[in-house]
Amino acid sequence: MKFITLAVIVLALSITASEQYSTPVFSATFGCSVKVNSPDPQHDKDGKTVIGTSTGYWCGSSNPGLTLETINVTKFNRGIAVDFSYSESYQKDMNEDDDLLDVSNGYYQGHPFTYVKAEFTGDGQRRWRRSKLIVVDSRTTIWIMMDAPVELSSDKNWENFANGLVIK
């Protein structure tokens, strides 16, 4: 019995482990160890013109039953409008095949954002994706996202992750 209790405690600690991560653009607490993607060139809709670079910071698992947390920073070569027009358009494109459960605009730490909660099928299961695309300035956006199976997805987990973002 002591072994089972100890195993449950160790498992609980490993599940709730988090990592504080900081860059020159943001700091945030992720629910697990952070991985960083190399900057990727971003293209116009025609697929030809490089408009900037995007770097993804994420944690999660390749196991489709778990939660994925992502913060993506895009640096643009040319300016974008510092209002809702870019974030609304991008969120619409990203979620065009999903069932939208909530869409709203607001300000986070003084920066305009568009929030979307969408339901979709991924890896054979129903999942919720919550995302907030924040226009930091005319050359920088931050896209924070949480993707989880519907039964594991909670407003509290999203709020803890999203509200822990500090824009520098």
pLDDT in tens, 114-138: 999 999 998 788 999 999 999 999 9
Integer Cα distance of 95 and 101 in angstroms: 11
Q: What is the DSSP string of 86-125?
A: HHHHHHHHHTTTSEEEEEEEEEETTEEEEEEEEEEEETTE
Q: Work out the angle at residue 33's Cα, subtended by the Cα atoms of residues 140 and 75, and round it to the nearest 5 degrees.
A: 10
Give 1-54 pLDDT, tens digit per residue.
443 433 333 333 344 568 899 999 999 998 888 888 878 787 766 666 677 788
Backbone angles phi and psi of 58, in degrees to 5: -150, 160
The architecture of the domain spanning 19-167 is 3-Layer(aba) Sandwich (3.40)
Structure tokens of 60?
Answer: 């999660």
Give the contacts of 129 (CB within 8 A, at least 6 positions apart): 95, 98, 116, 117, 118, 119, 120, 145, 146, 147
Mean pLDDT of 52-66: 72
Q: What is the DSSP string of 57-78?
A: EEE--SSTTS-EEEEEEEEESS
Are the C-beta atoms of residues 105 and 121 closer than 8 Å to each other? no
At 92 the pLDDT is 84
Has residue 62 got a pLDDT over 80? no
